[in-house]
């Protein structure tokens, strides 16, 4: 009985090993993954910033004559055209001044004609020896005074006419009116009080943004090569509108170390609104034949970014890469990968260098 015990233990051990061995000779089954092929195409090189919209033109309407506002010719928030009547100020005092100036002109013109006649008479008398040179001189001086009075009256008429015209306040541009600052019955004085109304032109629209001092050299270099495209979109929309960089400030802001820039964008449909914050992309150039992979292929470990590359023998290689800028749902690979190589998109958790894989369609 004791002699058969070692034989029984050996048999049991053999059965245990045979049961533990997986089918296929103990090899680990391949990990199921999905893959994508690295692409190659031209992509933009850009800077992403946050900007703010500003109106193309802003005009604060002020009264140029004193008086009582008698009429309002627009509604708050209304679109107005250049030349549209906005306010009317009581014109009667200025019309009276104009009428008085015209009457004074007629009087001075009559005196001027009389002075001309007297000069002519004095000269005839001097020619016949019946008058003196001093008399001629006096009459010519009086003629000069009369002529000066006529010119002064003409100037008074022009000044009065301007004041009459200024009683009707017109829009100087196509714009959208803001909230009015006065109502009919209010007395206005030039240079005093809030604007009567503020007008803003929406098309085109400015987009103001900044770049850091460290990016200034890149921006200047790209700008020297030609016009730069600026793309903008509101934070709650994927619609992108394009314009042109039209302003680069002449100094670096001391407190922030940034430089102000401005783009001009078409805005006929008022897609952008003054004061609105927008996402801005300043396109500095184009990177030719860039290698791109889906962004989800890129992984991160302690050494940096990497991708799993599927080799011809259906095993994977951990490939360190230098990742560049995002391009939508793709990312540029600056170094470490060639176009056409296949990278793993899903199934990373089961992978290690040299692991066998099964590519899922």
Q: Which two tokens stand for residue 252?
A: 């670096």
Query: What percent of the chain is predicted at pLDDT more than 90?
Result: 76
pLDDT value, residue 3? 45
Total domain count, the chain: 4
Give the range of the structural domain holding residue 103, as residue numbers without chain letter.
Answer: 91-166
pLDDT value, residue 64? 94
What's the pLDDT tens digit per position in 341-360? 999 999 999 899 999 999 98
- Least Cα distance to 243 among 281, 286, 287 occurs for 281
260, 297: one domain? no
Is 1 inside any structural domain?
A: no
206, 275: one domain? yes
Residue 17 pLDDT greater than 70, yes or no:
no
Is 185 inside any structural domain?
A: yes
Residue 257 pLDDT greater than 70, yes or no:
yes
Q: What is the mean pLDDT of residues 309-324?
A: 93
CATH of the domain at 188: 2.40.50.100
Residue 13 pLDDT greater than 50, yes or no:
no
118, 68: one domain? no
How confident is residue 26, by pLDDT bands cut at 50, 70 and 90? low
pLDDT value, residue 138? 85
Q: What is the mean pLDDT of residues 181-206?
A: 93
Is 21 inside any structural domain?
A: no
158, 258: one domain? no
81, 177: one domain? yes
187, 252: one domain? no
183, 234: one domain? no
CATH of the domain at 339: 2.40.420.20
Q: What is the mean pLDDT of residues 99-118?
A: 91
Q: Which DSSP string do the residues of 215-275 spell out, in sequence order? A: GHHHHHHHHHHS--EEEEE-TT----EEEEEEEE-SS--TTT-EEEEEEEE--TT--S-TT
How confident is residue 279, by pLDDT bands cut at 50, 70 and 90? very high
159, 208: one domain? no
The tally of CA atoms less than 13 A away on the side-chain side of residue 38 is 24
Residue 21 pLDDT greater than 80, yes or no:
no
Q: Which two tokens stand for residue 64?
A: 């140029």
Residue 11 pLDDT greater than 50, yes or no:
no
71, 135: one domain? no
230, 293: one domain? no
122, 182: one domain? no
Which of the listed residues 280, 305, 320 is the one where a domain comes to its end? 280
pLDDT value, residue 29? 87
Which of the listed residues 118, 151, 166 is the one where a domain comes to its end? 166
Q: State CA 62 to chain mean position distance.
A: 27
Is 343 inside any structural domain?
A: yes
CB atoms within 10 A of CB 259: 20
Which of the listed residues 280, 298, 328 is the one where a domain comes to its end? 280
Is 175 inside any structural domain?
A: yes
CATH of the domain at 115: 1.10.287
Is 23 inside any structural domain?
A: no
Residue 283 pLDDT greater than 90, yes or no:
yes
174, 270: one domain? no
CATH of the domain at 218: 2.40.30.170
What's the pLDDT tens digit per position in 135-157? 778 878 988 998 999 999 999 99
Residue 126 pLDDT greater than 90, yes or no:
no
What is the β-pairing status of strands 241-248 and 229-233?
antiparallel
Give the least confident one: 19-28, 44-53, 158-167, 193-202: 19-28
């Amino acid at each position: 009985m004791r002699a058969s015990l070692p034989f029984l233990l050996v048999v049991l051990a053999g059965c245990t090993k045979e049961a533990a061995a997986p089918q296929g000779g103990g090899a680990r089954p391949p990990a199921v993954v999905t893959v994508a092929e690295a692409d190659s195409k031209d992509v933009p090189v850009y800077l992403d910033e946050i900007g703010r919209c500003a109106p193309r033109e802003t005009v604060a309407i002020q009264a140029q004559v004193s008086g009582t506002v008698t009429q309002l010719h627009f509604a708050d928030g209304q679109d107005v055209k250049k030349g549209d009547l906005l306010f009317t100020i009581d014109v009667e005092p200025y019309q009276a001044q104009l009428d008085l100036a015209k009457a004074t002109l007629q009087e001075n013109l009559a005196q001027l004609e009389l002075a001309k006649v007297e000069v002519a008479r004095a000269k005839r008398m001097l020619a016949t020896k019946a008058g003196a040179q001093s008399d001629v001189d006096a009459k010519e001086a009086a003629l000069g005074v009369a002529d000066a009075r006529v010119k002064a009256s003409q100037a008074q008429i022009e000044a009065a006419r301007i004041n009459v015209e200024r009683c009707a306040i017109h829009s100087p541009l196509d714009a959208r009116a803001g909230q009015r600052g006065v109502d009919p019955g209010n007395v206005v004085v030039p240079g005093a009080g809030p604007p009567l109304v503020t007008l803003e032109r929406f098309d085109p629209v400015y987009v103001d943004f900044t770049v850091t001092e460290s990016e200034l050299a890149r921006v200047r270099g790209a700008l020297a090569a030609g016009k730069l495209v600026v793309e903008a979109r509101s934070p709650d929309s994927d619609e992108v509108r394009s314009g042109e960089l039209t302003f680069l400030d002449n100094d670096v802001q001391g407190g922030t170390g940034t430089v102000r820039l401005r783009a001009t964008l078409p805005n006929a449909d008022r897609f952008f609104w003054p004061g609105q914050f927008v996402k801005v992309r300043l396109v500095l150039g184009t990177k030719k034949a860039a290698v791109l992979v889906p962004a989800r292929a890129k992984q991160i470990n302690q050494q940096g970014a990497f991708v799993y590359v599927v080799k011809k023998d259906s095993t994977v290689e951990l490939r360190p890469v230098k990742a560049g800028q995002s391009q939508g749902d793709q990312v540029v690979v600056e170094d470490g990968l060639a176009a056409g190589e296949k990278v793993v998109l899903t199934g990373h958790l089961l992978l290690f260098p040299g692991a066998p894989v099964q590519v899922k369609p």
